[in-house]
Structures are given as C-alpha cells and as structure tokens.
Amino acid sequence: MNKNFLAVEKDIHGFAQELYFRNEVAIDLVEKDEQKDLLHFDRKDVEKLQEIASVLQDFCQPQVRAILQVSENTKDVKNDFKLIQNQAHQLIQNFSNLEKLVTYSETKAKKKSKNLSKQWLELKQNLLKMDINRIKEIEKSSKTMS
C-alpha cells in the first residue's frame, strides 16, 4: 500500500469530517431562517431556503458521507488516484456550496439592515479555518498520479 495514498486519504477523510459537520450546522441554520421567513410571510426567501436545504440534505450530505465511508476503509482500497481526484473534486464543490450559502445569508441580512447571526458568523469562521487549499492541491496532484 502506497504511504502517499494513505496520507492523502487521511487528509481527505479529515476534511470530509469537518465538512460533514459544517453541512449539518448549515442545514439547521437554513431551517431556522426558513421558519423566521415563514413568520414574516416572506414566501420568496422561504422557497429559496427550502431549495438550499434540499440540496444540502439530499445531495451534499450523502456525497460527503460516501467519501467518509470510503476513506475510512482505505486499507481495503487499492491505490486509486482517480478515486482521490473524484473525492477531492466533490469536497471542493461541497465546500463552495457552503461558501455560497454563507454569502447568500450575508446578502439577505444586509438587505434587511441586519448582521449575520452568531451561528452564521461561527459557520463562516469555521469555513475559513478549513484547509481547502490542501484539497485543491490533492485534486491537482492526483491528476498526474492517475
């Protein structure tokens, strides 16, 4: 078993774990915002938030969960750098979706002359702490390895 492969899979697994929990937080925050908008009869924002929540729950989370399951069992997987490339690409997409969600929430708050809630700010800060550049580096280097 290639030690480089195992090290990369370990990095992917760690990032995927963080992303999985950030997605969970985002889903909760979106649902809370959705409830607030329902109380204010803001149908357009409710529909947008429902769409976002659906994407997170039905697409992003299962994808990240699958990456977690595969990367937990790397000893059972042969050196498959195409797999690593796909995992990294999917993590980058999911991370980008969370960044866009935070940006959307910021824009929405500004329109209402409000600041982001403490929970949204925390999510934003936690995303900034994640090493997305490492995952981008993995994606790029795995293209030359496969």
Which of 101, 104, 103, 96 lies closest to 132 in space, CA to CA? 96
* pLDDT tens by residue, 47-106: 888 888 888 888 899 999 999 988 887 777 677 888 899 999 999 999 999 999 999 999
- Token pair recorded at residue 55: 């994407």
Q: Higher-confidence residue: 2 or 118?
A: 118
What's the pLDDT score for residue 146? 60
Q: Binning pLDDT at 50, 70 and 90, where does residue 145 land? A: confident
The whole-model pTM stands at: 0.84
**Total length of the chain:** 146
What's the pLDDT score for residue 51? 86
Counting residues of the chain whose pLDDT is more than 90, the rounded percentage is 49
The helix or strand, by DSSP H or E, that contains position 8, with its residue range, turns out to be: helix 3-39
Residue type, 63: Q
Average pLDDT of the chain is: 88
* 57 dihedral zone (left: phi>0; alpha: psi -120 to 50; beta): alpha
